[in-house]
Homo-oligomer: A and B are copies of this chain.
């Protein structure tokens, strides 16, 4: 009951914020209120200024940098860029919770890795299982069910699971300043996309509501699928085999496959986003590359070059070298999460 209350409250806060923003946008467009602020959770400074200057420039039909609406494609990584990704990608917590749910039907998991580690809450051992172990976990928990069943599983999980240290629902750990940025770009006729290494159907089950981005504008990693006519009640079954990893070179490749044109605005937080940044930077239209640098060990987490998750090394060097915009989370963001708005 308390959870429902909290969720409702969050809903109200987000709704209020969203309405405020929409009003701000209208005001900006009409020049009625000169000082309305489309990015209220961003501190004043060169990062915020760079974003506003870019958007004002490329949406001004008299600017030499004007971008036609059809080409205003903005792509955003998800983990560590629109929501947190520590102490592990949130999708891994889903897989872990699913293993525990499914364990009764799989007695063999008590002695098989990586399942044994999960069931014994032995995260050190799980980490030792490496990428191979993670893929095994994903296949066991994300496949051999229909797309509808998987969607229901994820929706059920996101409504009930809690982050291990923050102790709030995972979907509360989205970045308020980024929600404002998405809204600001859409108010200026940008089409906003998620382009994530995470599973596309995992994200689709809940992020459309949080980010205001429809299912068809979410790109991610995929497993193979199979169509089954099923006596007139067709289903699509998820198979335990990787189809596409939407990371590094995979990001521009997937963007080209699915969107079919180069973005003008790209936002990410790790080296896995670098090729997407490079692809965007090569647009003949004026483009904007935005890196989130995790610098806030108190309100969020601080990590970059040496992190296993969300490693930002070459990307940061290239951003500095090429003058891309880098968000210093600690100093650029007034609040991190929407629920902090309530506390202020």
A interface residues with partner B (beta carbon < 8 Å): 70, 73, 147, 191, 200-201, 204, 214-216, 218, 222, 225-227, 229, 232-234, 236, 243, 249, 252-253, 256-261, 275, 278-279, 282
- Determine the chain B residues whose CB is within 8 A of the CB of A215 once the complex forms: 259-261
Q: Looking at A191, A222, A233, A249, which has the most chain B CB atoms within 10 Å of its CB?
A: A249
Shortest distance from the beta carbon of A274 to any chain B beta carbon, whole Å: 10
Contact (Cβ within 8 A) A256 B236: yes
Given A227-B279, A243-B257, output 6 extra A-B contacts at Cβ < 8 Å.
A73-B216, A147-B256, A215-B260, A227-B249, A227-B275, A232-B282
Shortest distance from the beta carbon of A257 to any chain B beta carbon, whole Å: 6
Contact (Cβ within 8 A) A260 B200: yes
> Which of B218, B253, B257 makes the CB contact (< 8 A) with A260?
B218
Shortest distance from the beta carbon of A255 to any chain B beta carbon, whole Å: 9
- Determine the chain B residues whose CB is within 8 A of the CB of A253 once the complex forms: 225-227, 236
Shortest distance from the beta carbon of A276 to any chain B beta carbon, whole Å: 10
- Determine the chain B residues whose CB is within 8 A of the CB of A234 once the complex forms: 252, 275, 278-279, 282
- Determine the chain B residues whose CB is within 8 A of the CB of A261 once the complex forms: 215-216
Contact (Cβ within 8 A) B147 A216: no
**A275-B227, A279-B234 in contact; A214/B256 too (CB < 8 A)?**
no
Contact (Cβ within 8 A) B258 A201: no
For the complex of A and B, 4 pairs with smallest distance between CB atoms: A215-B260, A227-B249, A216-B259, A204-B260
- Determine the chain B residues whose CB is within 8 A of the CB of A259 once the complex forms: 215-216
Q: Which residue of B lies closest to A251 (CB)?
A: B227
User: How many copies of this chain does one complex carry?
Assistant: 2
**A201-B260, A253-B225 in contact; A70/B233 too (CB < 8 A)?**
no
- In whole angstroms, how far apart are the Cα atoms of A226 and B250 in the complex? 9
- In whole angstroms, how far apart are the Cα atoms of A233 and B281 in the complex? 9
- Determine the chain B residues whose CB is within 8 A of the CB of A227 once the complex forms: 249, 252-253, 275, 279
Q: Which residue of B lies closest to A238 (CB)?
A: B256
Contact (Cβ within 8 A) B225 A258: no
Q: Which residue of B lies closest to A222 (CB)?
A: B257
Contact (Cβ within 8 A) A233 B282: yes
Q: Which residue of B lies closest to A259 (CB)?
A: B216
> Which of B229, B249, B252, B278 makes the CB contact (< 8 A) with A278?
B229
- Determine the chain B residues whose CB is within 8 A of the CB of A218 once the complex forms: 260
- In whole angstroms, how far apart are the Cα atoms of A275 and B260 in the complex? 25
- Determine the chain B residues whose CB is within 8 A of the CB of A256 once the complex forms: 147, 225, 236
> Which of B73, B200, B236, B252 makes the CB contact (< 8 A) with A252?
B236
- Determine the chain B residues whose CB is within 8 A of the CB of A201 once the complex forms: 260
Q: Which residue of B lies closest to A248 (CB)?
A: B227
- Determine the chain B residues whose CB is within 8 A of the CB of A278 once the complex forms: 229, 232, 234
- In whole angstroms, how far apart are the Cα atoms of A263 and B282 in the complex? 35
- In whole angstroms, how far apart are the Cα atoms of A218 and B229 in the complex? 25
Could you give 24 example pairs across A and B, Cβ below 8 Å? Answer: A147-B256, A200-B257, A200-B260, A201-B260, A215-B260, A215-B261, A216-B259, A216-B261, A225-B253, A225-B256, A225-B257, A226-B249, A226-B253, A227-B249, A227-B253, A227-B275, A227-B279, A233-B282, A234-B275, A234-B278, A234-B279, A236-B253, A236-B256, A243-B257
